[in-house]
Amino acid sequence: MNQEHISRQFDADLEGLRTRVLAMGGLVEQQLLRAMDGLESGDMALIDQVIANDRQVNRHEVELDEACNNVIARRQPAAVDLRMIMTVVKTITDLERIGDEAKKIAKMARDIHGGDSRVVPRVNLRPPADIAVAMLRKALDAFARLDVNASAEVVRQDREVDAGFKAAMRQLITFMMEDPRTISSSLDLLFVARSIERIGDHAKNISEYVVYLVKGRDVRHIGLEAMEKEVASR
């Protein structure tokens, strides 16, 4: 087997990993959207489907992790190829955790709409959830296109999700103080808001891995301004 053939096979292996990561990301995005729809509508069939489908997300992570280990064992990658595999391993971990947060949202929705006549405060969590979904979508697109500029945009959007979480928390605390009957549902909604905030964090992580993949620089924990300078550098 000549070197060119081996190289083509290796490229195909890496492309296969990337395609499977994007498929997993699509499933996770669907889970999040359905969980929020279930929270708003009280559709128990939809809520139960989200909870059940979390197994598929977990299976994707396990299978992709094994595939990465196999590629490392067979190909012994170096430099940018090794960074690609490391990026895949880290990305699927964050995607699995986003799946966990979607499952938590579905469970909170089940509790809120689960039969007993609780007083549910009117708090609109859809706007920060929509931003978190957009962040996830953009982070996956940045991964697919190796676009570090899109990665920086995701990190900027994380501030909006954080602000949405703080605003929701203030509203829910006010509801609980003014009407103790809302305490149970308010706490459930507070957990939902927290899950949305964490989803934004995981999407931000994925975008930072893209910068590591393309630039070879770890931009975690350095702040938005320093990351933007790194992205702009040649």
CATH number where 224 lies: 1.20.58.220
pLDDT recorded at residue 225? 65
- Compute the mean pLDDT over every residue in the chain, rounded to the nearest whole number: 89
Contacts of 32 (CB under 8 A, 6+ apart): 98, 101, 102, 105, 129, 132, 133, 136, 199
pLDDT recorded at residue 69? 93
What percentage of the chain has pLDDT greater than the value 70?
Answer: 89
Residue-wise pLDDT for 140-152, tens only, equals 999 999 998 888 8
Contacts of 85 (CB under 8 A, 6+ apart): 14, 17, 68, 71, 72, 77
Q: Residue 50 sits in which domain range?
A: 3-232
What pTM does this model have? 0.91
Asked if residue 199 has pLDDT above 80, the reply is yes
Residue-wise pLDDT for 22-80, tens only, equals 999 999 999 999 999 999 999 999 999 999 999 999 999 999 999 999 999 887 887 88
102 touches 35 (CB < 8 A): yes
Task: Extract the tokens encoding 61.
Answer: 């992570």
Total structural domains in the chain?
A: 1
- What span, in angstroms and rounded, lies between the C-alpha atoms of 128 and 168? 9
pLDDT-wise least confident of 108-122, 142-156, 182-196: 108-122
pLDDT-wise least confident of 152-166, 183-197, 211-225: 211-225
In which band, very low, low, confident or very high, does the pLDDT at 218 lie, cut at 50, 70 and 90?
low
pLDDT recorded at residue 181? 87
Listed as own residue / partner, the contacts of 117-122 with beta carbons closer than 8 Å and 24 or more positions apart are 118/181, 118/184, 118/185, 119/179, 119/181, 119/182, 119/185, 120/182, 120/185, 120/189, 121/171, 121/172, 121/175, 121/179, 121/182, 121/185, 121/186, 121/189
Mean pLDDT score, 91-97: 97
Asked if residue 6 has pLDDT above 70, the reply is no
**Residue 178 exposure: Cα atoms within 13 Å on the Cβ side:** 8
Asked if residue 3 has pLDDT above 60, the reply is no
pLDDT recorded at residue 38? 95
